[in-house]
Amino acid sequence: MSMSLRLLAISAAFAFAGATFAATPQANTAAPTKTLTSSQQRMADCGHQNAGKKGDDYKNAVSACMKGDTASAAPTKKLTPSQQRMADCNHQNAGKKGDDYKNAVSACMKTH
- The 10s digit of each residue's pLDDT in 75-101 is 557 888 888 999 899 999 989 999 999
> Are residues 58 and 89 both part of a single domain?
no
Q: Which domain holds residue 103?
A: 81-111
Question: 90 with 106, same domain?
Answer: yes
Q: Is residue 87 included in any domain, yes or no?
A: yes
Q: What is the pLDDT of residues 15-46, one digit of tens each?
A: 777 666 665 566 555 666 788 888 888 888 88
The tally of domains found in the chain comes to 2
**CA–CA dist 49, 73 (Å, integer):** 10
Dihedral of the alpha carbons of 59, 65, 66, 68, in degrees to the nearest 10: 150
Q: Residues 15, 7: contact at Cβ < 8 Å?
A: no
In this structure, is the dihedral angle defined by the CA atoms of residues 40, 45, 49 and 51, taken in order, positive or negative? positive
Q: Indicate whether this model's pTM tops 0.75.
A: no
- Structural domain includes residue 2: no
Asked if the structure places residue 99 within a domain, the reply is yes
